[in-house]
Structure 1
């Protein structure tokens, strides 16, 4: 199963793109859509999940597609699940506290090999590429790096 999540706010462009790609390719997908206005046509979805349900969804997912929020990224890394990150940038940032996630996404790609999708037109090929990898190969090297310092450094930019 693919699990798509946008956190507590909204990221309609991401959910619409996942809905389109996963419908076209018949990927079993569940989405947590937050406060978004777009309601998926193909995906199974809920607006919000309890913390335990969120963790279970992450741990059982073949792939997690998410925004580049530090909270969700940390959960996916702890669960050692394949992840595809789509940062909120520019006009996708609707609430001040969301921030522009581009810099954090660059760190994730550089330091941890996380696949980042900068253009949602490329989402389908990125999902296919990540799904072709062996999930057993996922190693985020959390003990070799200082993730809390990376996150703290990123958050201080606001």
Structure 2
């Protein structure tokens, strides 16, 4: 199983450390980590990098993605119909990541791990969890809004 871990641009070393520790105990799994430029920890139990131009290719090749609760990452992954574990980054000053994570958990679009120390248990839970596919609702009001603004 290929597992991809992404933290975006913000430091989230506690997530990387906890997943790396789990990876060290589970050698049959293949881990790839996207770490932040500002992060101080380098994983020892998988490949890692800080930036990729074509991250969607990495998403495609992963069976499971562990991600911070950034809206852009989450919605991209949901539209790709990927299995995801969302881990809100409570190390950030703002706490907006918990709102989107709670929505995803309530609707069973993803598993949400609120304590990075539990990440191994959540990886195991994905084996039996029934993810509910996300249905994108397209927004078609842009023309109407443009016409209103121009009038």
TM-score (norm 2): 0.81
- Corresponding residue for 2:92? 93
Deviations 1:70-129 (A, max 9, x none): 01101111110100000012xx115x6xx4411211111113431000112211011011
- Corresponding residue for 2:3? 2
What does 1:71-150 align with in structure 2 at a 5 Å threshold? 71-89=72-90, 92-93=91-92, 99-130=95-126, 132-133=127-128, 139-143=133-137
- Corresponding residue for 2:145? none
Deviations 1:113-152 (A, max 9, x none): 310001122110110111x1489x6512224x98xxxxxx
Distance in 1 separating the partners of 2:121 and 2:45: 19
Find the partner of 1:46 among 33, 43, 49. Answer: 49
RMSD over equivalenced CA pairs, Å: 2.1
Say if 2:65 and 2:82, in contact at 8 Å, map to a contact too: yes
Change (3 A) 1:77 1:47: same
Find the partner of 1:28 among 12, 30, 48. Answer: 30
Matched positions, count? 136
Judging by fraction of residues, say which structure has more helix.
1
TM-score (norm 1): 0.78
Say if 2:81 and 2:134, in contact at 8 Å, map to a contact too: yes
Deviations 1:42-76 (A, max 9, x none): 121001111x2x10111111100010000110111
Say if 1:17 and 1:123, in contact at 8 Å, map to a contact too: yes
**Structure 1 unaligned residues grouped into runs of 5+:** 147-158
Say if 2:78 and 2:109, in contact at 8 Å, map to a contact too: no
